[in-house]
Structure 1
C-alpha cells in the first residue's frame, strides 16, 4: 500500500504544531543526551544545524552545548539563485543576541553574508516531517536539503531530528533526488541507516 504523501505531510504538520512547550522541553533534553553519545558527533568540529520554527525538535540546548564543547556552529541560509542552502558560521554572542533576519518562508536565518558549501561541515543536524526505518527523509516540500546534499555525496554525516510520531514504520517513497539520512534521532530512539 503506497503512502499518501500529501495527507501525511498535512497530518504531521498538524501534529508538530500541537506539541506542548512542556513536551518540547522534554524532547529537547532527551535528544541532547543521546546526541552526546554519538561518536560521529563527538568527533565533529563543524556542526550544521537549524533554528526551529515550525514545531520541529527544538535545537537551543544542542546549539549551546556545541558552543560549550568548542565546536563551530553553522546555520543554513537559502541561496535565491540556486535554491540550495549555504552555511554561515555564527558566534555564541550572535546566537544569544538573536541577530537573525526572517526569511519569507517564516524561519530565521543568519544576516545576509556569503555562506559556505555544505561539504565543509562534518556533521549536519536536519529537521524533517517524516522518516521511515530505511532512512528516507521527507521534508517540508521545498527540496532545499535534497538539492544541497546532492552536491556533497560523502560529507557531512546526516542526522535527522524528529519527534517519535514522525518515525513512520511503512516504507516512504524515495525519488532519485531524495537524499537519505545516515541516522535518525528521536526522544526515544537512535536509528542508524546504511546509505
Structure 2
C-alpha cells in the first residue's frame, strides 16, 4: 500500500467532516433509494443501524423508512465489560425524542440495561472510514464492530454505508481479527463481496 494506515485515517476523517449539510442530505437520500431496492433489505425485519456522529452517511431517513414499513430498528450500545456492541431495539417515539446517553467516545447510545447479540439481526448497516474492493473495512480504530462480529460468523448481513470517496483503490491490510463486509453502499454504487 502506498500510504500508512494512520495517514489514510486522518485524511478520510478530515474529508468526511468537510461534507456540507446539503451534500449529506443528498448522499443520505441516494443511499436510501438504493437500499430499499436491495432484496436483502426488503426481506430483513431486524435492522441494526448506527446513529451518525462523525460525518458518516446520515441514517435518519433509513430509520424513518424502517419505522414506516414495520421493520424493527436496533441501535448499538457498547458493553463496558467486554468492549463489544449489543443491540437495543428502539421505537419511533424513542428515536424522535432523542432519548440517548452520550458515550465518552463521542457518540450517542440508547439508554437500556440490556441489548441483544448481533446474530439476532437480519442486516447490520455499518459506518466506516474506508473500504476496498475486497470488502475490507477500516473503522474509527476502536475495533468494536470487529470484536462483535467475530462472535457471529453467519448472520447478520453486513452492509457498509459510505461516501463515494471512502472506497479506496488500494487493497487495505487485513488482520486476522478484521471482519470483512458482505456489501458496500455509496450514493453512487452498490458493491457485493464474497466474505
| TM bin (shorter chain) | over 0.9
1:95 maps to what in 2? 95
Distance apart, 1:3 and its partner CA: 3.9
1:172 maps to what in 2? 172
How far apart in 1 are the matches of 2:72 and 2:37?
A: 18
TM-score w.r.t. length of structure 1: 0.99
1:106 maps to what in 2? 106
1:82 maps to what in 2? 82
TM-score w.r.t. length of structure 2: 0.99
Distance apart, 1:112 and its partner CA: 3.1
How far apart in 2 are the matches of 1:16 and 1:9?
A: 10
Please, which runs of 5 or more residues in structure 2 have no aligned partner? none
How far apart in 2 are the matches of 1:112 and 1:64?
A: 21
Distance apart, 1:2 and its partner CA: 4.6
- Count the aligned residue pairs: 195
How far apart in 2 are the matches of 1:80 and 1:150?
A: 17
User: After TM superposition, which residue ranges in structure 1, 4 or more long, deviate above 6 angstroms?
Assistant: none
Structure 1 residues 127-148: Cα deviation after superposition (integer angstroms, max 9, x where no partner): 0000001000000000000000
Please, which runs of 5 or more residues in structure 1 have no aligned partner? none
| Structure 1 residues 111 and 102: CA distance shift in structure 2, 3 A | same
> CA RMSD for the aligned pairs?
0.7
How far apart in 1 are the matches of 2:87 and 2:94?
A: 15
Distance apart, 1:169 and its partner CA: 1.0
